[in-house]
Amino acid sequence: MHSYGVGEVARMLHLSRGTIRGLISRGFVSPARGPRREYRFSFQDLVTLRAARALVQAKVPPRRIGRSLLALRRQLPKSVPLTGFTICAVGNEVVVRRDGSHWQPESGQYLLELDVSVEGDSLQIREIKRGEADVPGKDGMSGSGKEDMAGEAHTWFERALAAEGRNVGEAVEAYERCIALDVRQLAARVNVGRLHHEAGRLAEAERVYRDALRECEPDPTLLFNLAVLLEDTGHPDDAIEVYQQALAEDPDFADAHFNIARLYEAAGKRQHAIRHLGVYRRLQKS
């Protein structure tokens, strides 16, 4: 069964290594160890990590999170598309959404999704059929408010993720639709920049990353990707500067320590290289 390293998990789920370690230390996930004692995550671990982060942000009590995640793990298959799951908090209740269905993992109870409206003097309640809530309108927008736009942006993001493995052009287009709907979609910017980079469109990738730096909050993964791009375009000094910015955002970003150590070594700055390589080795053992 395939397993994932910390770097893969950080990129797939858009979590910092510090956040991943924090969720592990709080007991929300218990990854296996690889031959070098590195963390190795299963598919169930990935779903659990994404769920734990969402529930912590929603301020669900830790005990409730622990019980819900334990129940959720028992119900997860060994491997399905990660994009098929959405985990959220409704009050203090944890709700899982998959393929249009909603259920509470602790009880296993399925929930109806209802559209409630008032027409005249009567209250209208209509069950939303499976898939109906996810279909955008013909104009590409499901509503006129900011919430509707953010919701549709998330739909395009999920479509882009699902398309990456089969059609890169379709994925790029979906990410761009997502960003057009919600400029705060940093993960979409990071991913579309990565796809441009992998396809050799280096100038386009740099434009995407620079735009994200101007329009979004500083993010270590974004900065790391830009630094790698700067290396590939032959600008090691600029890459070092951007790696330093990434480490300022996340001092425990092991891959950034390793890469900057390599660049310092090439530049003849051995003491700087040794310091960062030492931090990298310590983080790999933690």
Among 82-96, 151-165, 213-227, the range scoring the smallest mean pLDDT is 82-96
Domain count along the chain: 1
Helix (H, G, I), strand (E, B) or coil at 101: strand
In-domain check, residue 255: no
Report how far residue 188's alpha carbon sits from residue 14's, in angstroms, rounded to the nearest whole number. Answer: 10
Q: Is residue 216 scored above 50 in pLDDT?
A: yes
Which pLDDT score, from 0 to 100, does residue 92 have? 53
Outline where DSSP puts E strands in the chain. 32-33, 39-40, 85-90, 93-98, 101-104, 109-111, 114-119, 122-127
Helix (H, G, I), strand (E, B) or coil at 28: coil
Q: Is residue 51 scored above 80 in pLDDT?
A: no
In-domain check, residue 200: no
- Taking alpha carbons only, the member of 221, 265, 256, 276 closest to residue 16 is 221
Residue with token string 């779903």: 47
More reliable by pLDDT, 126 or 245: 245
In-domain check, residue 123: no
- CATH number, domain of 59, equals 1.10.1660.10
Q: Is residue 101 scored above 70 in pLDDT?
A: no
**What is the domain extent for residue 93?**
1-110
pLDDT, one tens digit per residue, over 158-198 is 888 778 777 889 989 999 999 998 888 888 898 899 899 98
Which pLDDT score, from 0 to 100, does residue 71 have? 64
Which pLDDT score, from 0 to 100, does residue 68 have? 67
Which pLDDT score, from 0 to 100, does residue 196 have? 92
Q: Spell out the residues 6+ positions from residue 167 whose beta carbon is closer than 8 angstroms to its own.
A: none
Report how far residue 208's alpha carbon sits from residue 193's, in angstroms, rounded to the nearest whole number. Answer: 6
DSSP category for residue 129: P
In-domain check, residue 98: yes
More reliable by pLDDT, 241 or 112: 241
Q: Is residue 2 scored above 90 in pLDDT?
A: no
In-domain check, residue 169: no
Q: What is the mean pLDDT of residues 101-115?
A: 49
pLDDT, one tens digit per residue, over 141-167 is 444 455 567 678 888 888 887 787 778
In-domain check, residue 141: no
More reliable by pLDDT, 202 or 127: 202
- Taking alpha carbons only, the member of 132, 157, 168, 140 closest to residue 82 is 157
Which pLDDT score, from 0 to 100, does residue 243 have? 95
Percent of the chain's residues with pLDDT above 70: 64
Q: Spell out the residues 6+ positions from residue 271 whose beta carbon is closer than 8 angstroms to its own.
A: none
In-domain check, residue 209: no
Q: What is the mean pLDDT of residues 201-225?
A: 91
Q: Spell out the residues 6+ positions from residue 38 whose beta carbon is closer than 8 angstroms to its own.
A: 5, 6, 284
Q: Is residue 122 scored above 60 in pLDDT?
A: no
- Taking alpha carbons only, the member of 119, 198, 188, 133 closest to residue 156 is 188
More reliable by pLDDT, 55 or 49: 49
Which pLDDT score, from 0 to 100, does residue 121 have? 44
Between the ranges 55-59, 156-160, 207-211, where is the mean pLDDT highest?
207-211
Q: What is the mean pLDDT of residues 39-58?
A: 76
Report how far residue 139's alpha carbon sits from residue 141's, in angstroms, rounded to the nearest whole number. Answer: 6
Between the ranges 50-54, 67-71, 148-152, 217-221, where is the mean pLDDT highest?
217-221
In-domain check, residue 197: no
Residue with token string 């592990």: 24
Q: pTM higher than 0.85 for the full model?
A: no
CA-based torsion, 12, 14, 16, 19: positive or negative: negative
